[in-house]
């Protein structure tokens, strides 16, 4: 029997409506004028929300874009939750393939404007709560890796937290490079190639190699 969701208070409903107006305005600006048009001023003008109200719900425009990306990814990534299987390398790659394909579909202009060194919403080793878009990906990868370690497909001395950090750094680096080259190569395939090489050289066990590399 499904648990009933608690009813929202009028204030919570109003807050959700304002947040939706802000994100809807940002989405419209992106589709009509490009991501460069997404500023706090333009969002407030289009959504008819005050600047004070904007900052009550979001810290800055990057947080709005992160929210937009997260919501869009959840809608587009139903397949994401179905990733499973004992081959930890291919399972992790499948997670990043889905996400990187999603980024490609957003367009390089959007990605280049979001993946900047000044964007505090991107995953950080010292601020893991900052990443609203990487959170669902890393949550799934945590689940997959913990199971793989229990099954002895990952070397016993592997520091999983450090491994997760390595993956996020590689992912960001590949995305930055892809943007800097104007999307001159296949982001999905290159990210998969680099991560696969890294994983097979550093984290998989003898048991994994015996079962999946023969």
For 105, phi and psi rounded to 5 degrees? -70, -25
The DSSP symbol for 126 reads: T
Q: Which pLDDT belongs to residue 208? A: 96
Contact 140, 81 (CB under 8 A): yes
More reliable by pLDDT, 122 or 210 = 210
> What would the pLDDT profile of 166-188 be if each residue is shown by its tens digit?
998 899 999 999 999 999 999 99
CA 33-118-174 angle, to 5 degrees, is: 85
Q: Which pLDDT belongs to residue 126? A: 53
Instruction: Provide DSSP, 199-213.
Output: HHHHTB-HHHHHHH-
Say yes or no to pLDDT of 101 above 60.
yes
Q: Which helix (H) or strand (E) holds 159?
A: none
| Cα dihedral 168→71→6→50 (10° resolution) | 110
pLDDT tier for residue 110 given thresholds of 50, 70 and 90:
confident
- Which CATH code of 1.10.10.60, 3.40.50.10540, 1.10.1740.10, 3.40.50.720 fits the domain covering 10-58? 1.10.10.60
> What would the pLDDT profile of 56-83 be if each residue is shown by its tens digit?
999 888 888 888 877 777 766 667 778 8
0.75 surpassed by pTM: yes
Say yes or no to pLDDT of 86 above 80.
yes
pLDDT tier for residue 1 given thresholds of 50, 70 and 90:
very low
Q: Return the SS3 of 155.
A: coil
Q: Which pLDDT belongs to residue 109? A: 85
Q: Where are the domains of the chain?
A: 10-58, 71-212
More reliable by pLDDT, 174 or 134 = 174
- Residue 145 burial (CB < 10 Å; 0-12/13-18/19+)? buried
Least confident stretch, 30-34, 128-132, 185-189: 128-132
What's the mean per-residue pLDDT of the chain? 85
CA dihedral sign of residues 58, 59, 60, 64: negative
Q: What span, in angstroms and rounded, lies between the C-alpha atoms of 65 and 43?
A: 11
């Amino acid at each position: 029997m499904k648990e009933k969701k608690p009813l929202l208070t009028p204030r919570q409903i109003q807050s959700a409506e304002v947040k939706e107006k802000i994100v809807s305005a940002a989405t419209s600006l992106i589709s009509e004028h490009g991501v460069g048009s997404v500023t706090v001023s333009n969002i407030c003008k289009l959504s008819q929300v005050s600047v004070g109200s904007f900052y009550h719900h979001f810290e800055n425009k990057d947080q709005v874009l992160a929210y937009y990306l997260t919501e869009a990814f959840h809608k587009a990534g139903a397949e994401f939750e179905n990733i499973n299987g004992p081959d930890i390398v291919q399972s992790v790659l499948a997670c990043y393939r889905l996400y990187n394909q999603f980024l490609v579909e957003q367009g390089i202009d959007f990605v280049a404007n979001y993946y900047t060194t000044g964007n505090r919403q991107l995953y950080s080793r010292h601020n893991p709560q900052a990443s609203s878009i990487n959170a669902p990906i890393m949550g799934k990868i945590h689940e997959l890796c913990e199971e793989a370690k229990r099954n002895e497909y990952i070397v016993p001395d592997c520091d999983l937290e450090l491994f997760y950090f390595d993956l996020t750094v590689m992912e960001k680096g590949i995305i930055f490079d892809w943007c800097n080259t104007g999307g001159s190569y296949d982001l999905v395939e290159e990210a998969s190639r680099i991560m696969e090489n890294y994983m097979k050289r550093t984290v998989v066990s003898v048991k994994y190699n015996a079962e999946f590399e023969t």
